[in-house]
Structure 1
Amino acid sequence: MKKGKATIHDIAEKLNITASTVSRALNDSPRISENTKKLVIKMAKHLNYQPNHIASALRSGKSKLIGVVVPTANRNFFSSVVRGIEEIANNLDYKVIISQSYDSYKKEVDTVEALLNARVDGIIASIAKNTENFDHFQKVLDKGIPLVLFDRITNELEVSQVVIDDYLGAYQVVDHLIKGGCKKIVHFTSPKKISIYKDRMRGYEDALKDHGISFNAELIEESNLQLEDGRNSMENIIKKGISFDAVFSSSDYAAMGAMQILKEKGFKIPEQVMLAGFGNEPFTSFTDPPITTVDQKSIPMGHVTAETFFALIKNGKKDEVPQKTVLKPELIVRKSTQKN
């Protein structure tokens, strides 16, 4: 046998049978005897045969693969959503290919193209922060390939979506802060075209309004909401000399950055400044004090996202009316917002 990857023709030659018989045996066809199947499988292992996934997908029309695109896999939220997706997918004998966009538009475009070339049966994605053009996702829809968006979505695509009620989560946080005596609440948000941050801003604004507190644009800080962004935003607020008694960040990471600066500047949390985040990242329960946050129901979101996806697969309708599922968030109150 020539050097290189073993093929079904190599297995057939060794066993003196046809390639079609080898193919049927590997696919557990009832037309092939159990003895022949055992011989084929044994020889396939001996030759280290690896099936040609793309060729198989072309023949069958199904690859049993799902492409999942996330901004980053090292965040508890996204890894937990992926876990929820895999739990449903694996039970249906589907495998998941996980790709990271690193919040880069170009990386996201390249990843979607690679997944299409790999003949995935569909794509599940959470949009990168820097994505403002959605042509690559529209291409998926135009090809009639199932697409479901979760968490970071856009209203510019007619596509099924799974989100939590970001508006309600933010409203609950700000309502909690105001009832705790706060009136000058800083808000960290993102300027990007992602609906979750717009919805959290609306929740912030409406909670202030419902309590008769005027909106103050000087208390709003826009950034990419990473830890360093939280540090910078907190420093900006302090340098402005603006009076504030609470910080609500749309990201736990930026909230952690704010906590670091507040401590470095001698502010006492929660006595002088209450602090709350969003996401319920694991570290929020281990900080000093532990950070009040919003749980995004990540594993249930993964389950519902996968179930939505497989409903599209089952129905096989290109003109399926997109469904939007909204999960209810949970406010997790911790010591960073409790004075007593």
Structure 2
Amino acid sequence: MKNGKATIHDIAEKLQVTASTVSRALNNNPRISDATKKKVLKAAKELNYQPNNIASALRSGKSRLIGVVVPTANRNFFSSVIRGIEEIANSFNYKVVISQSYDDYEKEMQTIEALLNVQVDGVIASIGKTTENVDHFKKILKKGIPLVLFDRVTNELDVSQVVIDDYFGAFQATEHLIKEGCKRIVHFTSSQNINIYKERKRGYEDALLKHGIAVDPELIRFSKLQLEDGRATMQEVIDEKTSFDAVFSASDYSIMGAMQVLKENGYKLPQDVKLVGFGDEPFTSFTEPTLTTVNQKSIPMGNITAETFFEILNQKDQTNIISKKTILKPELIIRNSSLNQENI
């Protein structure tokens, strides 16, 4: 066996049949008898044969692999989207290759290059926070490979997108705080190059204006929205003696950091400060007080993203693909962190 790896020729030699017979048996060709297929599969198992997917892809033009690029897989939102994608992909006998960009532009470019090198049949991606140049995604399209974006998308690419209505979710969250009596609402946001943060900020601002509350730039704080960013930003607001009675964050992680710092500084929650996050991460239902947040419909988003991908993949005329944008409605999950005492 060459390099210690079994090939179809090794299986053929073991069974005294042709390599083409082995290949057809492994691919369940109806011209091969069931008895021969069983012998081939048994020999393949005994020799620990692993198919060369790249070679197979070159021969057939299909690898039956989908590249899925996410900023990070250890967030409930992204892991749930991946689960939704896999549910549909498996039904089409496709597998997904999951790659993480870690919100790093260079890593994202390298990931796309690697996926193209292993001959994936298409790419599903959520763009990283630091990505401003999308030429690496344009390279996918130039190769005639389907590309579908979800959650973090860009209008620079004429491709199908699946997103939630971030504006509506943020508007709902902010209006809820206003109805609970809040007027000085701090907003944690991130890079406005990313559509989701731009839309959440716009929803926050429009809810204030609807209720006659002026938008105060001093209350809008930018960061990477990690837990440590929430801690640092909240401490800055307190140290600056900025007047505030609520915090609405575009991320559950940074609102968790804010909650920790508020408690450390002696604030009572929700009596002194009310809190709302975004994402409905599992920990939000276990904090004290439990956190109000926005559910992003992650599994349905994954399902619809994959369904959209296969609609494109199965079109005969790949030169005339019509892009579409699917917008899902988020849901405000109201918990104790944003309610007046009498409503708890």
The TM-score with structure 2 as length reference comes to 0.97
Q: Which residue pairs with 1:236 in the alignment?
A: 236
Q: Which residue pairs with 1:11 in the alignment?
A: 11
Q: What residue identity is the alignment partner of 1:329?
A: P
Question: What SS class does the counterpart of residue 102 from structure 1 fall into?
Answer: coil
The TM-score with structure 1 as length reference comes to 0.98
Q: Which residue pairs with 2:130 in the alignment?
A: 130
Q: Which residue pairs with 2:337 in the alignment?
A: 336
Q: Where do 5+ consecutive residues of structure 2 fail to align?
A: none
Shift of 1:209: 0.5
Q: Which residue pairs with 2:313 in the alignment?
A: 313
Q: Which residue pairs with 2:325 in the alignment?
A: 324
| Counterparts of 2:244 and 2:224, CA distance in 1 | 22
| Counterparts of 2:240 and 2:2, CA distance in 1 | 73
Question: What SS class does the counterpart of residue 32 from structure 1 fall into?
Answer: coil
**Correspondence 1:208-219 to 2 at 5 A:** 208-219=208-219
Q: Which residue pairs with 1:98 in the alignment?
A: 98
Deviations 1:40-87 (A, max 9, x none): 111111111111100001111111111111111110000000000111
Q: Does 2:287 match 1:287?
A: yes
Shift of 1:3: 5.0
Q: What residue identity is the alignment partner of 2:233?
A: S
Shift of 1:191: 2.2
Deviations 1:195-246 (A, max 9, x none): 0000001000100010010010000110000000000110111111111010
Shift of 1:173: 0.4
**Correspondence 1:30-179 to 2 at 5 A:** 30-179=30-179
Deviations 1:109-165 (A, max 9, x none): 111111111111101011111111111101001111011110011111111100000
The answer as to whether partners of 1:129 and 1:192 remain within 8 angstroms in 2 is no
Q: Which residue pairs with 2:276 in the alignment?
A: 276
Q: Where do 5+ consecutive residues of structure 1 fail to align?
A: none
| Counterparts of 1:2 and 1:326, CA distance in 2 | 51
Question: What SS class does the counterpart of residue 315 from structure 1 fall into?
Answer: coil
**Structure 1 consecutive aligned stretches of length 4 or more whose deviation exceeds 6 Å:** none
Q: Which residue pairs with 2:202 in the alignment?
A: 202
Q: How many matched pairs?
A: 340
The answer as to whether partners of 2:246 and 2:275 remain within 8 angstroms in 1 is yes
* Higher mean C-alpha displacement, 127-136 vs 313-322: 313-322
Question: What SS class does the counterpart of residue 267 from structure 2 fall into?
Answer: coil
The answer as to whether partners of 2:129 and 2:191 remain within 8 angstroms in 1 is no
Q: What residue identity is the alignment partner of 2:320?
A: D
Shift of 1:2: 5.2
Percent identity of equivalent pairs:
70
| Counterparts of 2:178 and 2:30, CA distance in 1 | 68
- Alpha-carbon spacing, 1:2–1:222, altered in 2? closer, same or farther (3 Å): closer
The answer as to whether partners of 1:180 and 1:338 remain within 8 angstroms in 2 is yes
The answer as to whether partners of 1:66 and 1:124 remain within 8 angstroms in 2 is yes
Shift of 1:192: 4.6
| Counterparts of 1:68 and 1:318, CA distance in 2 | 23
Question: What SS class does the counterpart of residue 69 from structure 2 fall into?
Answer: strand
The answer as to whether partners of 1:163 and 1:325 remain within 8 angstroms in 2 is yes
Q: What residue identity is the alignment partner of 2:334?
A: V
| Counterparts of 2:64 and 2:2, CA distance in 1 | 31
| Counterparts of 2:323 and 2:221, CA distance in 1 | 34
